[in-house]
Structure 1
Amino acid sequence: MLLRALTITLLATAVALPAQAQGAMTVIGGGMAKDCSVAALGGESDIRFETVCTQALETELLSSRDRAGTFVNRGILKLRRKAYSLALADFDRAVSTKPDLGEAYVNRGAASVGVRRYAEGLADLNKALELGVDEPEKAYFNRALAHEGLDDLKSAYLDYQKAQTLKPDWQDPARELARFTVERR
């Protein structure tokens, strides 16, 4: 099917960008790293869980994957509190610990979008999708936010659509798509 030119506009351009989607990591085994993982996966944002993550990083013998995962999980806890700079530092540590960990890139991309460094976020989100992540819909959603921040509305629209296709029951992409009008010419 050949598509003609697609014009996409926002209904209201003064809408604030929505919150980013985060992808936590399961850490295998027991101990504080596992507790950190459970907190991140469970949607916690209380700073006391960051302390558990920090203690795990300082005292537990962790594989490189679990160490990187614990940095990701601690970063997610910070990201939920909008402590973007602190979260970025954790995601940087995760990337340096395990450079092939897609979740580190998707979350670093989300944090970059949070501080309006859209081009950096876009690069990390593309890398995350290239490496593979457990929840690609979150990468597409965050990439849509980055595209929107860079005024690339067509790419933003297509990524919101992809996120919705991957997880149809997730309301955030549907809410964002409702802000767009599409004209085919």
Structure 2
Amino acid sequence: MVVMRKWVLAMSATLLLGAAAPSAPARAAFERGEAALSSGRLDEAASAYREALKDTPGYAAALNGLGSVLFRKGQVTEAIARFREATEADATLKMAFFNLGYAARKAGDAATAAQAYERYTQLEPNDADGYYGLGESYRQLGQKEKAIPAYQAYIAREKRPGEQVWVRKAREHLTAMGAQPQPVPASASVAAPAQAQASAPAAVSESRTAVAAATAEPERTPNSALAASRIRDGDALMKERRYREAAFAFLDASHADPGHVEALFKLGNALAVLGYYGQAVEKWERAARLTQDATIRQSAQDNVTRARAKMAQAGASPQAAQQPPGSGPVADTTRAQARRAYEQGVQRIGTRDYGGALTSLTQAIQLEPMLAVAYTARGSANIGLRRYAEAASDYQYAMELEPGSASPLYGLAESYRALGRNEEARSLYERYAASSATDVRAQLQEESRQKAAKLR
């Protein structure tokens, strides 16, 4: 069993000359901010970052951290200002450029987003996520001559099995723009604006605090509280040696907050115990990219080394081939059990036995983790239980598994409306009303139009 070392969220940053060198008290305050943010304690994190900035004005990593807090609290304009200040304070602070691009794109400022993503892809030329954001920004600007090579660069770099849904989406955008989805070589660079072509100093370590955790799912809003709850469930299950159930608890946590380092690390642990070494390696490597804690990064690397050795011994097993749990090695009898549990869950929703439905649908997901309709149905059960954040997480993941399905759109709209996120709910209702997917229902389309109108 691969064991995680002591969980400490700290950060050691080396700053270039010209950037504000933090004092010892400022660094200590910054570290408190990082720890608080990782646990979802936003007010505490903001206070700590401001303390660091009061002691050392222009502390770029603290500005980036404060921007992340503001973004998560919905104060997007203020967040963009802090991210911009961080990039001006340290022109090599990679995640500040990523965050500025993401936040600006969400605010509808595609020009600022494109400029920020251009700089980020210069600093991190091998990170696929930056190119996806760059392609989206240029597409929104109507500059398809720049969007096309950005999407192609993304396709060339994106090798993570769990992110291939976004590769398909990028290919769809390329086809819509009349371009061949043939990717450019990963070593090639995307042409950047003239003002961004100047050579930059060598990159340095910086805070990996990110508004979207640098994931390839650009629309996801992290739910740290839900992630923390499911991590606690997973920890308890691991102690009871119920590793498969623990894996799904950690998987739920990573769905709730795709950039949650602890969720990713522990999901890797559970997958490794189950023999899915390739999947475990992916989770550990992703956790290592998202953290600045040297202990966590070294532990992840040690685990990757051990897992790769196990993969070499395993030969041509489905796990070694990086088949997602439930997609390759599941027997037909297991799939049949999953479908029965799904049908039972749907029936229980029909009788308003939402608690029983939740149990049946969770069983279906554990038996067949790629069964998108089970996530959609579990979202409905969660809505019946008024667990709207959990419902939103299920609907979002169902949309990742089946981007062409309409049912999760309506469910997610209902969840967001209950959570008071009316603008997002209205957009989703409108998308459902306009959808031509095979699972669209005419009655719900009419209801969607009415609900969207009320939210205007």
Give TM-score, length-normalised by structure 1.
Answer: 0.63
The yes-or-no answer on 1:136 pairing with 2:133 is no
Indicate which of 68, 84, 98 corresponds to 2:90: 98
C-alpha separation between the residues in 2 aligned to 1:179 and 1:53? 41
Name the residue aligned to 2:454. Answer: none
Deviation at 1:122, TM superposition (A): 0.7
Name the residue aligned to 1:176. Answer: 169
Instruction: Say which structure, 1 or 2, has more relative contact order (CA 8 Å, 6+ apart).
Output: 1
- Seen in structure 2, the aligned counterparts of structure 1 residues 180 and 121 have a Cα distance that, compared at 3 Å, is closer
The equivalences for 1:103-182 within 5 A come to 103-130=95-122, 132-133=123-124, 136-152=127-143, 155-156=146-147, 159-160=150-151, 162-163=153-154, 165-166=157-158, 168-171=160-163, 173-174=166-167, 176-177=169-170, 180=173, 182=175
- Seen in structure 2, the aligned counterparts of structure 1 residues 184 and 128 have a Cα distance that, compared at 3 Å, is closer
Verify the 8 A CA contact 2:151 2:174 in the aligned structure 1.
Answer: no
C-alpha separation between the residues in 2 aligned to 1:77 and 1:135? 27
Counterpart residue identity of residue 116, structure 2: D
The CA deviation string for residues 16-59 of structure 1, in whole angstroms up to 9 with x for no partner, is xxxxxxxxxx731862201223455x384734322221122223
The equivalences for 1:22-61 within 5 A come to 27-28=11-12, 31-40=28-37, 42=38, 44=40, 46-59=42-55
Verify the 8 A CA contact 2:36 2:44 in the aligned structure 1.
Answer: no
Q: Secondary structure at the match of 2:108?
A: coil
Verify the 8 A CA contact 2:104 2:112 in the aligned structure 1.
Answer: yes
C-alpha separation between the residues in 1 aligned to 2:44 and 2:141? 36
Deviation at 1:127, TM superposition (A): 1.7
State the aligned residue count. 154
Counterpart residue identity of residue 52, structure 2: A
Residue ranges of structure 2 left out of the alignment (5+ in a row):
1-9, 14-26, 181-456
C-alpha separation between the residues in 1 aligned to 2:151 and 2:129? 10
Deviation at 1:152, TM superposition (A): 4.1
Counterpart residue identity of residue 31, structure 1: A
Counterpart residue identity of residue 91, structure 2: P
- Seen in structure 2, the aligned counterparts of structure 1 residues 169 and 96 have a Cα distance that, compared at 3 Å, is same
C-alpha separation between the residues in 2 aligned to 1:50 and 1:179? 40
How big is the alpha-carbon RMSD for the aligned residues of Structure 1 and Structure 2? 3.4
- Seen in structure 2, the aligned counterparts of structure 1 residues 168 and 47 have a Cα distance that, compared at 3 Å, is same
Counterpart residue identity of residue 99, structure 1: A
Q: Secondary structure at the match of 2:124?
A: coil
The CA deviation string for residues 109-132 of structure 1, in whole angstroms up to 9 with x for no partner, is 2222122111121112112222x1
Name the residue aligned to 2:75. Answer: 83
Deviation at 1:133, TM superposition (A): 3.5
Deviation at 1:71, TM superposition (A): 0.8
- Seen in structure 2, the aligned counterparts of structure 1 residues 156 and 37 have a Cα distance that, compared at 3 Å, is farther
Deviation at 1:106, TM superposition (A): 2.1
- Seen in structure 2, the aligned counterparts of structure 1 residues 88 and 157 have a Cα distance that, compared at 3 Å, is same
Greater Rg over alpha carbons, structure: 2
Deviation at 1:68, TM superposition (A): 0.5
Deviation at 1:156, TM superposition (A): 4.2
The CA deviation string for residues 120-164 of structure 1, in whole angstroms up to 9 with x for no partner, is 21112112222x139833322221221221134575465455445
Deviation at 1:176, TM superposition (A): 3.5
Name the residue aligned to 2:411. Answer: none
| Percent sequence identity over aligned pairs | 15
Indicate which of 49, 66, 70 corresponds to 1:74: 66
Verify the 8 A CA contact 1:140 1:162 in the aligned structure 2.
Answer: yes
Residue ranges of structure 1 left out of the alignment (5+ in a row):
1-25
Verify the 8 A CA contact 1:163 1:173 in the aligned structure 2.
Answer: no
